[in-house]
Amino acid sequence: MPPKAHATLSASSSERWLNCPPSARLCENYEDRGSDYAAEGTDAHTLCEFRLKQALGMLAEDPIGNLSWYNTEMEECAQGYAAYVVELLETAKQTCSDPVVMIEQRVDFSRWVQDGFGTADCIVIADGVMSICDYKHGKGVEVSAVGNPQMRLYALGALEIFDGIYDIDQVCMTIFQPRKGNVSTDVIDKEALLEWANGDLAEKAKLAYEGRGDFHCGEWCRFCKAKAECRERAAANLELARYEFEAPVLLENHEIADILGKIDALTAWANDVKEYALQQAINGKEWPGWKLVEGRSNRKYTSEAVVAATVERAGFDPYEKKILGVTAMQKLLGKSRFEELLAPYIEKPQGKPTLVPDSDKRPAMNTAKNDFMEEF
């Protein structure tokens, strides 16, 4: 898979610049340092492309030897992705004699977003319906396809290429995120997609390209390069100061509920500021009232092999024996053999109580109060 160029108004960052238009130009002032997560994701996409081409009988060079992050989990994810796309294709064949599969297809949506382009992981085109599948390797945040602007931009770019060849009426967009057990699908009529593109999208994209509009803080901030220094984000998080951090007993119920809804964002913002300040200090910047010092460290062996040999010669056993964890044991035995041998000896304790928004899919726990009420 060739290296990908990045548009100023890219599809992958569209949630941010649609909600906070001036952030697009602001982020151009920051160096793109990359991350281990991004590098792992790139390897996963490369493997997915290879396994899909393999599954479809297409010629493809095996990239595994060049993948720094390759492991068994990534292999399982890639094979699952390939199987899902093959299933999409088989479904398309039921209504179309010659559906087409495009892999790592560059799409251009510059009719609505100036200089806008991106790369769609997979597009399956058939008469009437076009399906777009996007692979997500991340396991931190579950990504929904519903109203997803990245997927809609890919769809618009794909329509620019294929709508004249295939009479497309409907677009089906799927996020395949195996490490979260998430397969999310959204379906939209072509006319509704174009209405969004000609209205909200075109308006916000123009503001973003010109560096105009208002800053807005939200979940999209986590991927913004300016997130540690952004004054709008600071102001939004510092709204908590109006409670003057009083003890909870002095707050009303609705106030505590309001704070609960902001704590995660506040913590993330505080950690971003702290990390930014640390990196700047390492590079020589001095912060008033603060200094850079060497943190605590733990002793470690310079060579475990030499230490083990030395201790053994002295007549001692330098090793400790520990049973494999559940996940590691399942990988060792294989899923079916693991179930056959160990199912009677596996239990899953109740998870630690956690407060989450009502929108969370997990069922509510039965509390001590509920248990008491049920007895009467």
- Whether the CA torsion 124, 95, 162, 116 is positive or negative: it is negative
Lowest mean per-residue pLDDT among 47-61, 124-138, 234-248: 234-248
Q: Print burial letters for 211-246: b (CB count within 10 Å at least 16), e (below 16).
A: eebebbbeebbeebbbbbebebbeebbeeeeeeeee
Residue 1: predicted pLDDT: 47
Residue 3: predicted pLDDT: 42
Retrieve residue 136's tokens: 């997500």
On the question of pLDDT at 46 being above 70, the answer is yes
Lowest mean per-residue pLDDT among 57-66, 94-103, 202-211: 94-103
Residue 123: predicted pLDDT: 95
Please write the tens of the pLDDT for every residue from 86-125: 999 998 888 888 888 999 999 999 999 999 999 999 999 9
Q: Residue 233 in contact with residue 269, Cβ under 8 Å?
A: yes
Q: Residue 109 in contact with residue 117, Cβ under 8 Å?
A: yes
Percent of the chain with pLDDT over 90: 53
Residue 243: predicted pLDDT: 67
Please write the tens of the pLDDT for every residue from 221-279: 888 888 888 888 888 888 766 766 667 777 788 888 888 888 888 888 888 888 888 88
Residue 63: burial class (beta carbons within 10 Å; 0-12, 13-18, 19+): middle
Domains of the chain, by residue range, sit at 14-209, 227-282
Please write the tens of the pLDDT for every residue from 3-15: 455 678 999 999 9
Retrieve residue 348's tokens: 């899953």
Q: Which of 22, 82, 23, 98 is nearest to 49 (CA)?
A: 82
On the question of pLDDT at 376 being above 60, the answer is no
Work out whether strand 128-135 and strand 168-177 pair parallel, antiparallel, or are unpaired. Answer: parallel
Mean pLDDT across the chain, nearest whole number? 88
Please write the tens of the pLDDT for every residue from 179-201: 999 999 999 999 999 999 999 99
Please write the tens of the pLDDT for every residue from 345-360: 999 888 888 877 888 7
Q: In 59-141, where does DSSP find H-type helix?
A: 72-93
- Whether the CA torsion 304, 305, 308, 309 is positive or negative: it is negative
Whether the full predicted model's pTM is greater than 0.85, yes or no, is: no
Please write the tens of the pLDDT for every residue from 276-328: 888 888 888 888 888 888 888 888 999 999 999 999 999 999 998 889 999 88
Please write the tens of the pLDDT for every residue from 155-175: 999 999 888 788 889 999 999
Q: State whether CATH 3.90.320 applies to domain 14-209.
A: yes
